[in-house]
Amino acid sequence: MSSVDLVPVLLIATPILAATLPIALGLRFDRVGWSIAALTTTGLFAATAFLATVVYGDGATVTHALGDFPQEYGIELVADELSTLIALLVTGVAAGVLAYTRTGGPRGNTFYTGYLLLTGGLLGLTMTGDVFNLFVFLEITGLGTYAMISSGDGPESAVAALKYLILGTVGASMYLLGVGFLFMATGTLNMAELATALPDVEGQGETLVRVAFAFVFVGFSIKVAQWPLHTWQPDAYQHAPDGVTPLIAALVSTVSAYAFGRVAFTVFGADFLATTPYASEVVVTVGSISVLAGSTLAVIQRKVKRMLAYSSVSQFGLIVAAYGLVTETGLVGAVVHLVGHGLTKAGLFAAVAVVSVSTGARTVDEYAGLAKRRPVAAMAMTVLLVSLVGIPPSVGFVGKWYIALGAVEAELWPVAAVIFLSTMLTLAYAARLLEKMYFTPAAPTERPVPPGAAATDGGSPVETDDPDRVTVGMIGLVVAAAVLVVALGFAGGTFYDLLEPFVEEVFN
Amino acid sequence: MLELLATHYAYALMFVLIAIGLYMIIANQNLVKKVIGVSLFQTAIFLFFISMAYVEGGSAPIVPADETPGELVVASPLPQVIVLTAIVVSIALTAVALSLVMRIYAEYGTLREDTLTEVRADE
What is the per-residue pLDDT across A209-240, written as a single tens digit (0 to 9) for each?
Answer: 899 999 999 999 999 988 888 888 888 888 88
A425-463 pLDDT, tens digit per residue, is 898 888 888 888 888 887 655 445 444 444 444 444 444
In which band, very low, low, confident or very high, does the pLDDT at A173 lie, cut at 50, 70 and 90? very high
Does B61 reside within a domain?
no
pLDDT exceeds 70 at position A466: no
pLDDT at A461: 41
Q: SS3 for A165-207, per residue?
A: HHHHHHHHHHHHHHHHHHHHHHCCCEHHHHHHHHHHCCCHHHH
Q: Hey, is the C-beta of A183 within 8 angstroms of any chain B C-beta?
A: yes
B110 to chain A: closest CA residue:
A159
A191-206 pLDDT, tens digit per residue, is 888 888 888 887 788 8
pLDDT at A134: 93
Nearest to A180 among B31, B42, B49 (CB): B49
pLDDT at A467: 52
CATH for B36: 1.10.287.3510
A97-121 pLDDT, tens digit per residue, is 888 888 877 877 888 888 899 999 9
Contacts of residue B41 in chain A, CB cutoff 8 Å?
A: 169-170, 173
pLDDT at A460: 41
pLDDT exceeds 60 at position A265: yes
Does B63 reside within a domain?
no
Task: Mark which residues 49-78 of B lie under 8 Å from A by CB.
Answer: 49, 52, 78
pLDDT at A281: 87
What b-and-e string marks burial along A450-489, b requiring 16 or more CB atoms within 10 Å of the CB?
Answer: beeebeeeeeeeeebbeeeebbebbbebbbbbbebbbebb
Nearest to A169 among B79, B85, B93 (CB): B93
Q: Hey, is the C-beta of B119 within 8 angstroms of any chain A C-beta?
A: no
Q: Is A77 helix (H, G, I), strand (E, B) or coil?
A: strand
Contacts of residue B104 in chain A, CB cutoff 8 Å?
A: 155, 158-159, 162
The beta-strand segments (E) located in A51-170 are 62-65, 76-79
Does B85 reside within a domain?
yes
pLDDT at A378: 86
pLDDT at B38: 93
pLDDT at A462: 40
pLDDT at A454: 46
Does B114 reside within a domain?
yes
pLDDT at A468: 58
pLDDT exceeds 50 at position A464: no
Q: Is A130 helix (H, G, I), strand (E, B) or coil?
A: strand
A133 to chain B: closest CA residue:
B82
Q: How close does chain B come to A140, measured CA to CA in Å?
A: 8
Does B98 reside within a domain?
yes
Q: What angle do CA A342, A346, A350 make, to 5 degrees?
A: 170
> Are A158 and B103 an interchain contact pair (Cβ–Cβ within 8 Å)?
yes
Does B107 reside within a domain?
yes
More confident call, A229 vs B70: A229
Q: How close does chain A come to B68, measured CA to CA in Å?
A: 22
pLDDT at A185: 87
What b-and-e string marks burial along A62-95, b requiring 16 or more CB atoms within 10 Å of the CB?
Answer: bbbbbeeeebeeebbbbbbbbbbbbbbbbbbbbb
pLDDT exceeds 90 at position B20: yes
At position A92, the amino acid (one-letter code) is G
pLDDT at A456: 47
Cα(A222)–Cα(A31) distance, rounded to whole angstroms? 37
Q: Is A460 helix (H, G, I), strand (E, B) or coil?
A: coil
Domain that holds residue B95: 2-56+73-122
Contacts of residue A156 in chain B, CB cutoff 8 Å?
A: 120
Number of structural domains in chain B: 1
Does B68 reside within a domain?
no
By the 10 Å C-beta count (0-12 exposed, 13-18 middle, 19+ buried), B5 is classed as exposed
Contacts of residue B108 in chain A, CB cutoff 8 Å?
A: 155
- In order of A103, A184, A316, A435, A504, the CA distances from A405 in angstroms are 44, 38, 18, 31, 17
Q: Is A448 helix (H, G, I), strand (E, B) or coil?
A: coil
pLDDT exceeds 70 at position A2: no
Task: Mark which residues 9-28 of B lie under 8 Å from A by CB.
Answer: 18, 22, 25
Q: Hey, is the C-beta of B89 within 8 angstroms of any chain A C-beta?
A: yes
More confident call, A305 vs A73: A305
| Mean pLDDT score across all residues of chain A | 85
> Are A155 and B96 an interchain contact pair (Cβ–Cβ within 8 Å)?
no
Does B95 reside within a domain?
yes
Cα(A361)–Cα(A450) distance, rounded to whole angstroms? 10
A62-91 pLDDT, tens digit per residue, is 888 887 787 777 788 888 888 888 999 999
pLDDT exceeds 60 at position A245: yes
Worst-scoring range by mean pLDDT, A266-275, A444-453, B43-52? A444-453
pLDDT exceeds 60 at position A419: yes
pLDDT at A176: 93
Q: Hey, is the C-beta of A146 within 8 angstroms of any chain B C-beta?
A: yes
Nearest to A176 among B45, B100, B104 (CB): B45
